[in-house]
Structure 1
Amino acid sequence: MLDQSQLQDYLAPISKWLLNHDNLYTDLQIGNMIDAYEEEHWPDLDNADIVLIGVNEERGAGRKTPEMHAPDLVREAFYKLYHWHQDVKLADLGNLLPGNALTDAYAALSSIVGALIDAGKTVLVLGGSHDLTYAQYKAYANKQYIIELTVADALIDLHEDTPARAEKFLMDLFTEQPNYIRHYNHIGFQSYFVQPKMLETLDKLRFDCYRLGKLRENLDEIEPVLRNSDMLSFDVCAIRHADAPANVLSPNGFTGEEACAISRYAGMSGQMSSFGIYGYKPTQDQYGLTAMQMAQMLWYFVDGRAIKNKEAMLHDKDAFLEFHIAFSDIHTKFLKSKKTGRWWMQLPDKSYIPCAYNDYLLASNNEIPERWLRSQERAI
């Protein structure tokens, strides 16, 4: 059971009345279905599957005064959507109280996320600046959980010569000792913003980076990556400006639909226990479209979680189609779920990794799938 007093010390309640401008939510709107921390009411976290936290913290991006009420603007849009999956229980813990220093905010967020993960909850973080990814990661590191993490960002925040934590937090993630990162994936980077040597560095660490253009050719390729990830951090700047006006970095990026598909894939993952969306700036958000985009991403994450709950375990042979393949003198096996259509590929040690249909096609044509090769490289 989660300790209410321990969590409550870090949090400020919200008001559904204010979020909905003194109107009632209809029966199946999320605002009516979600159990939120309000004055005089603490949510029933024991029965919750997904727990939402707002974090209005931007000192890591060099802004001493955060954008006002950024998480609440996303909530306002999210609460108006309709909840289609009543078997997925939602709770909202309100907003993180500002600490005296940035390190206080990191410590508080990691403590809350860690406690929720330990209780078997999936955590949604509505950020502030992208460096809060570090606090999201520390929730696992503080408990010595070795994880795979994925970041969606047009940039690779690996700069050393900058005072802004939001521009160099990946350096902290990769160099901190002891380190609990089993594997790192970076999705949606835009090459013209990235120093080539950064990619060389990540490749030497056997981390995987997926260029925006490559992913947009076949977005399904990213589903196995997210299926194997414990946490996802998504920067709004990965979405093109037309679909997320608060992104003033680039006119290019994922479409709104693609961002929602990525969120749905994350929700479908049986491994994923935290998902943070960062970088929202309300003062740059025309007509509130970015807040609505983020709200719909949250909706699709919940939608994915409903699908995840229906997936069978790999040892349930009746729930999968089995394909025996030989490529380059290697004999292996592919499994396809009858329920969700997702694929798994067997490695030489007889373990299985998530894969895509294209990996099966390559193996069928006597080609070694790159996903198989990369996995074997990391095993050495």
Structure 2
Amino acid sequence: MASPDATPRVALLGWDAATADAVREHLYPLAWDFDGLTLSDLGNFRKQTVNFAVPLLKELHGAGILPVLVGRHPTLLTAQYLAFGELNRQVGICVADSDMHLSDSPGTSTESAGNLDAAIYRDRSPVYHLAHLGSQRQLVGPRLDALFLRRHFERYTLGQSRGKLSDLEPTIRDADVFAFDLAALAAGEAPARRGFHPSGFSVQEAGQLAFYAGSSDRLSSFGLYGYEPGNCSHHEQKVTQAAQAQLIWYFLYGVSQRKGDFPVTTAGLHEYVVDSKVTDRLTFWRSDRSNRWWVQVPVPDEEGEERNRLVSCSYEDYLQISQEGKLPDRLRIAFSRY
């Protein structure tokens, strides 16, 4: 087990050189505020194919190095997941995007939809959990709602996501892979991104989500995609490049602030047992180092991986169960996966 004080090493990798190098020009002049964090720039992929990327990412994961991936096309998300899938682990993915690049059934993927298909419909070691943030109702077909219900996935629309960003922190903390598509940003915040929809997160809000991802001791892969310069002016391209650099900066800042609690170690977690109306008894855990909370899934220890049997939650979730006897929807969905 890793030391609770160990800060992971981070590697920056570009998918396509033009996009990644432009982001680097904006990232490197920013203030270095990450004491103890080691960042290595590994340059750009020599080949832009999933088959080429997966072995490299798998090797980085094996060495305890956290990759930060920058590119135009979200196909790299497939490589992000498969690098974990090859390890036969129960992988959780969190995606922020205005649309869902997911087919409603296997074998129906098209060029415009289906970047998540390799994870969701994979025969061997399919994704354990998917959480989707920032989707917009007018862009997502209703047939995907049935898939999310059936697989016990989580979906937070743009309105729900922006309502209270801190409510998304436990969801992000349960993910191994986080992918942010620039299409999740408002057009005015990142004009050189995919799609003509005007709504989305502000860069400030997205920076908060990136910080949550970086500060999670579980998260092991971060991807930033969706840059589409198209017919944008030089100024609009620069603004969007700077937005990407800012999101990476906040992610790195989050990594530098990791506390080394679960799943790095369970030492220092305080136990709270609650008699509940919704189930016989629930056990909550709170970390002294970060003041973050988890709840233990009420199943035998031999079921599922240990890191999935403790589900991230909030102090408000604890109060809702202990004082009101109500099970929050997110925890109900999490328990249903067992």
On the 8 A contact 1:152/1:234 being kept in 2, the answer is yes
Q: Does 1:224 align with 2:208?
A: no
TM-score by length of 2: 0.86
- For 1:372 and 1:191, the matched residues in 2 are separated by 24
Name the residue aligned to 1:137: 81
Higher relative contact order (CA 8 A, sep 6+): 2
Unpaired runs of at least 5, structure 2:
1-6, 302-308
- 3-state SS of 1:169 partner: coil
Name the residue aligned to 2:285: 335
Q: Does 1:149 align with 2:108?
A: no
Seen in structure 2, the aligned counterparts of structure 1 residues 362 and 297 have a Cα distance that, compared at 3 Å, is same
Deviation at 1:161, TM superposition (A): 5.9
Q: Does 1:367 align with 2:335?
A: no
Name the residue aligned to 2:222: 275
The amino acid of 2:176's aligned partner reads D
Counterpart mapping for 1:98-109 below 5 A: 98=47, 105-109=49-53
- For 2:8 and 2:295, the matched residues in 1 are separated by 33
- For 1:206 and 1:287, the matched residues in 2 are separated by 38
Q: Percent identity?
A: 28
On the 8 A contact 2:35/2:256 being kept in 1, the answer is no
Deviation at 1:265, TM superposition (A): 0.7
Counterpart mapping for 1:310-321 below 5 A: 310-311=260-261, 315-317=266-268, 320=269
- For 1:298 and 1:324, the matched residues in 2 are separated by 39
Higher Cα Rg, which structure: 1
- For 1:260 and 1:142, the matched residues in 2 are separated by 30
Seen in structure 2, the aligned counterparts of structure 1 residues 125 and 287 have a Cα distance that, compared at 3 Å, is closer
Name the residue aligned to 1:326: 275
Q: Does 1:112 align with 2:56?
A: yes
The amino acid of 1:281's aligned partner reads E
- For 2:81 and 2:273, the matched residues in 1 are separated by 38
Q: Does 1:240 align with 2:186?
A: yes
How many residues get paired?
Answer: 314
Name the residue aligned to 2:159: 213
Deviation at 1:98, TM superposition (A): 3.6
- For 1:96 and 1:315, the matched residues in 2 are separated by 37
On the 8 A contact 1:134/1:173 being kept in 2, the answer is yes
- For 1:163 and 1:346, the matched residues in 2 are separated by 39
Cα root mean square deviation, aligned: 2.3
On the 8 A contact 2:213/2:251 being kept in 1, the answer is yes
On the 8 A contact 1:71/1:127 being kept in 2, the answer is yes
The amino acid of 1:184's aligned partner reads L
Unpaired runs of at least 5, structure 1:
1-46, 57-67, 100-104
